[in-house]
Amino acid sequence: MSDNQGPYQEGKRAGLHPLLVVFGVLIGLWLFVALIVPSSKNKQAAGTEGAPVPLIEDPEAAPVIFEVEAIVPDMNAISLVVPRQATDSQVVGLLKRLHKERLEGTLGDLLPATTPGHKLGDHAVADIYIVSDQKYAQPDVIRTLARGAHAPGNFYPQAIPFEVAMEEIRGHYRIDLNNSGSPDAASLGLADESGVHSNHYRKLF
C-alpha cells in the first residue's frame, strides 16, 4: 500500500461534523429573522396600524374648555391647549365642533385666521393641533409636527424630535379647501402624510 493516503480513510469521517452543520443552519436562520423580517416597531413606523380599536364616545361628555396657545402663520397652523383631565370623548367633541363651525362658516368666531384674505376663506388651509401640555404647543414644536416625520433631524437641531412631540398630540384637525374631494380630516392622536402615527391614533373623518 502506498504511504501517500488520500483524504478519505476507512474509519474516519470525511467533511464537517454534522453538529457544526446544524449549528451553522440555526445561526443562519437566526440572522435571517433578525435582519430581514421587520420588527413590530418598524412596522408601526412605516404606518402599519394593525387591527382598528373602536372608539367609545360619551354623548353626555361636557364640552371641553380650550385656549389658543400659538399661531404659526408660515405653517398655517394653530395649537390649542385643553386641560390634562380632558377625556378622549371631550377631544372628539371639540374636533367635531370645529368641523361644524367650519362647515357653517363661523370657525373664525373660535380661532384666528390661518389664511387671512384667501379667496376660499380665512381657514382655507389649517392644521390645528390639540395638546394638554403647553410645552408641546409652542411654535417650534408645531413646525416640527407640520414638517412631518421625515424632515432632516439636523435641520432644526434645537426642536423637540417629531417622535416625541407626536405622542403628545391629543387631537388633530386638518383643513385643505383646495382638496375638494376631502377638505377635512380629523383624528385622535396624529398621523403624518407618510403614515407614521402616534400609538393612540384613531381616525375620525
Asked if the structure places residue 96 within a domain, the reply is yes
Asked if the structure places residue 75 within a domain, the reply is yes
Asked if the structure places residue 114 within a domain, the reply is yes
Asked if the structure places residue 61 within a domain, the reply is no
Write out the residue range of the structural domain in which residue 114 sits. 67-203
Asked if the structure places residue 133 within a domain, the reply is yes
Write out 82-126 in H/E/C secondary structure: CCCCCCHHHHHHHHHHHHHHHHHCCHHHCCCCCCCCCCCCCCCEE
Its pTM surpasses 0.85: no
Predicted pLDDT at 43: 38
What pLDDT, in 10s, does the model give residues 46-69?
343 444 445 556 667 789 999 999
Please tell me the total count of domains within the chain: 1
Asked if the structure places residue 39 within a domain, the reply is no
Predicted pLDDT at 38: 41
Residue 179 pLDDT level (bands cut at 50, 70, 90): very high
Asked if the structure places residue 16 within a domain, the reply is no
Q: What are the two backbone dihedrals, phi and then psi, of residue 34, each rounded to the nearest 5 degrees?
A: -70, -35
Asked if the structure places residue 56 within a domain, the reply is no
What pLDDT, in 10s, does the model give residues 68-126?
999 999 999 999 999 999 999 999 999 999 999 999 999 999 999 999 999 999 999 99
Q: How far apart are CA 10 and CA 37, in angstroms?
A: 45
In the predicted structure, residue 16 carries a pLDDT above the cut 70: no
Cell of 107: 370657525
Q: How far apart are CA 119 and CA 39, in angstroms?
A: 47
In the predicted structure, residue 20 carries a pLDDT above the cut 80: no
